[in-house]
Amino acid sequence: MSDIKTPVSGKMENNKYKHLFTPIETGGTVFRNRIFASPEGFYHVSTDCLPNAEEAQFFERKAMGGFASVCIGDCIVDIDTGRHYPFLCNMKDPDTLPGLSAVASAISRHGAVASAELSHAGMYAQDTYARTGKLYGPVEMDGKYGHVEEMTEEMILNIVKDFGAAAAWAKRCGFGMVTIHGGHGWLLSQFFSRNVNKRTDAWGGSLENRLRLPLAVVESVRKAVGRRFPIEIRISGSECNPDGYDIEEGVQLAKALDGKVDIIHVSAGHHEVPSAMVITHPSMFLPDCCNLKYAAEIKKHVNTPVATVGAFTSPDEMEEAIASGSADIVEVGRQSLADPDLPIKARLGKEDEIRRCIRCMNCFGGEGEHRIAECSLNPEISHEKEYEYAPAPKVLKKVLVIGGGPGGMEAALTCKMRGHEVILCEKSGQLGGALRCEKLVPFKQKTMDYLDLQAHLLEKYGVDVRLNTEMTPAKAMEIGPDVIIAAVGAKPMKLPITGIDKALCAEDVYLAPEKCGDSVVIMGGGLVGIELGLFLAELGKQITIVEMAPKLTVHEFSMHTLALMDQIEKRGLKILTSHAAKEVTEEGLIAAGPDGDVLVAADTVVYAVGQIPQRAEALAFNDCAPEFHMLGDCIVSKNIQAATSLAHRLAYDIGRY
């Protein structure tokens, strides 16, 4: 049977996003809608740092999904003075020509405008310092990564030329726009900052002098690319920290740029200040569209089109931002990973199928740990080539999925989309697995929305879902599947210590926080324990977390960890590390530490010390079908990303024989 569907009409299916899908013309270029993919670095390159086929496909996927512009980030204009990571693109390297040209072509051939972000890290150029022992900035100072030397005027003028040369190079490679990075604490914002730039020459001090470098760079780029070639500049409307500038100064910067660029892209925060970085990339603890206010304020003072960015996941939010006059363009970063098809889905009236970013920061964690972007919700990200050429199943099979958690739902849905007959059995009355225990947690509502989406798609595409159905080997054999996928999850680990029965399980507390007294001690400084502590603190509880390791056991590369640390401080959680739980008493928890036993007094003790995979329960089905697979927490207890990734790939493997 053919998969091709006939359109129901010849007009746009969904007119509720009239403003969002009205093209915009600026800089002599027409952009097909108002949804841009914001600058994003691509770090999965070889040691020569040259753009590769994987990079082209990574950005092409966004263009295929309907974004009006797709921007590649971190194109460094001068690596000898301004590269912060060693694997970033060197815009002075002539060998980048074929790779950058391939990336630009991959984007533009789908109707999107390809943009290259031109950047210089200034005094935060870690890679430059590692290679040369030198750091350069507006003034001499002790910086975050080492001693910073004041840039000479000759150096400044050379960097101005470098921006122009990089823009010309991007244009030659086929890019249809350049984005000047003037925000997030990088070089141009360092010169604009009155708290950093204390120079006494023409490049610092007064507002006019602090604006001199940003304006000189814009002029250099304009001369290099010509009048009818769009220039976007990214600024922080506010740097969102006490040592940075505020929105009033952000407005001054925007007014100085007005008419000299074609798009003023208003972001917020500072890359090198942790509490501000989780505003630049809004954490799950911040509301939707939290940075729109900066763009809206700047738009009042300029005539140049204004773009906003930060925690947009819904086309309804985007439409409102433009319809209200707060911005002309909405840019998204992580959301373009969660669902690169957001624009086309919204235009076709399929917004009910959009995967919305849950702000878990696993994408940053993957880039930090492996230099590969990963998404908890979209397993195909960074595997575009693999899935583009994946063959259809040779044999369609009857698949029984046991367990309706994230992994089970993803396996069932993907198998169904590939043509298999699928039955999903879940012993409880709802889909979503153990994560459903967090349904009362305000900062986890995006995760609940994702679980609801998966359940909706299972129904929409006709998966046979059987709730309140506890599967047994006998029942499985009665169904007679060709394939069984066991996704039966894990159960909370209970420490074998004296008095443990006096303690509560984290999952139970999530579901019924009223069981806790006013003071709570949580055993376990991992993700579950910390997030539970933050939730209870929000309810007014006094929280102490006890962890046996020397530090909290969270992902060291994930930006979510920065957000957690920020929230721990703001909500007043007490942390006791290097202490092992020893006994639960009526008075609290006795823990053994380097200096002996201590009593952590509390009304309630909660354990959040890990999960035990239900492997035996899964393996009971090993002989019930010709083909058997396990996935998710019943193998190793990890996270949504691990479960969905394995489930998705497994579904593609079924039917090969």
DSSP result, 183-201: -BTSHHHHHH-TTT----S
Which residue spans of the chain are classified as CATH 3.50.50.60? 500-609
Cα distance between residue 188 and residue 210, in whole Å: 9
Q: Taking the CA atoms of the chain, what radius of gyration do you get in angstroms?
A: 27
* pLDDT of 637: 81
Percent of the chain with pLDDT over 90: 93
Cα distance between residue 463 and residue 466, in whole Å: 9
pLDDT at residue 7 is higher than 60: no
The H-assigned helical ranges of 193-304 are 207-210, 212-225, 247-257, 274-280, 292-299
- Work out the average pLDDT over 126-141: 96
pLDDT at residue 1 is higher than 70: no
- 105-116 per-residue burial string, b: 16 or more CB within 10 A, e: under 16: bbbbebebbbbb
* pLDDT of 521: 98
Cα distance between residue 15 and residue 17, in whole Å: 5
Name the CATH architecture for the domain at 15-386.
Answer: Alpha-Beta Barrel (3.20)
Check: CB of residue 243 under 8 Å from CB of residue 195.
yes
pLDDT at residue 3 is higher than 50: no
Residues 247-272: tens digit of each pLDDT: 999 999 999 999 999 999 999 999 99
* pLDDT of 388: 83
* pLDDT of 14: 60
Kindly report the CATH class assigned to 392-491+612-653. alpha beta
pLDDT at residue 504 is higher than 70: yes
**DSSP track, 307-361:** EEESS---HHHHHHHHHTTS-SEEEESHHHHH-TTHHHHHHTT-GGG--------
Cα distance between residue 334 and residue 286, in whole Å: 15
* pLDDT of 46: 84
How far CA 581 is from CA of 336, 503, 594, in Å, comes to: 43, 12, 13
Residues 433-484: tens digit of each pLDDT: 999 999 999 999 999 999 999 999 999 999 999 999 999 999 999 999 999 9
- Cβ-proximal residues to 283 (8 Å cutoff; 6+ apart), any chain: 359, 361, 559, 560, 562, 563, 566
**Domain 500-609 carries which CATH code?**
3.50.50.60
Q: Which of 488, 490, 489, 480 is nearest to 400 (CA)?
A: 480
DSSP helix/strand/coil, 24? strand
Which residue spans of the chain are classified as CATH 3.20.20.70? 15-386
Q: Lowest mean pLDDT: which of 142-151, 379-388, 507-516?
A: 379-388
Burial of 594: CB neighbours in 10 Å, binned 0-12, 13-18, 19+: exposed
Cα distance between residue 50 and residue 30, in whole Å: 30
DSSP helix/strand/coil, 101? helix
* pLDDT of 245: 95
* pLDDT of 636: 85
Place of tokens 């380097």: 594
* pLDDT of 204: 96
Burial of 572: CB neighbours in 10 Å, binned 0-12, 13-18, 19+: exposed
Half-sphere exposure of 124 (CA within 13 A, CB side): 20
pLDDT at residue 153 is higher than 70: yes
How far CA 234 is from CA of 161, 174, 186, in Å, comes to: 19, 21, 11
Residues 287-314: tens digit of each pLDDT: 999 999 999 999 999 999 999 999 999 9
Q: How confident is the model at residue 6 (pLDDT cuts 50, 70, 90)?
A: very low
H or E segment at 519?
Answer: strand 519-523
pTM for the model stands at: 0.94
* pLDDT of 650: 96
Residues 543-570: tens digit of each pLDDT: 999 999 999 999 888 889 999 999 999 9
* pLDDT of 469: 97
Task: Tell me what the pLDDT averaged over the chain comes to.
Answer: 95
pLDDT at residue 363 is higher than 80: yes
Which residue spans of the chain are classified as CATH 3.40.50.720? 392-491+612-653
- Hey, which bits of 426-469 come out as E strands? 464-466
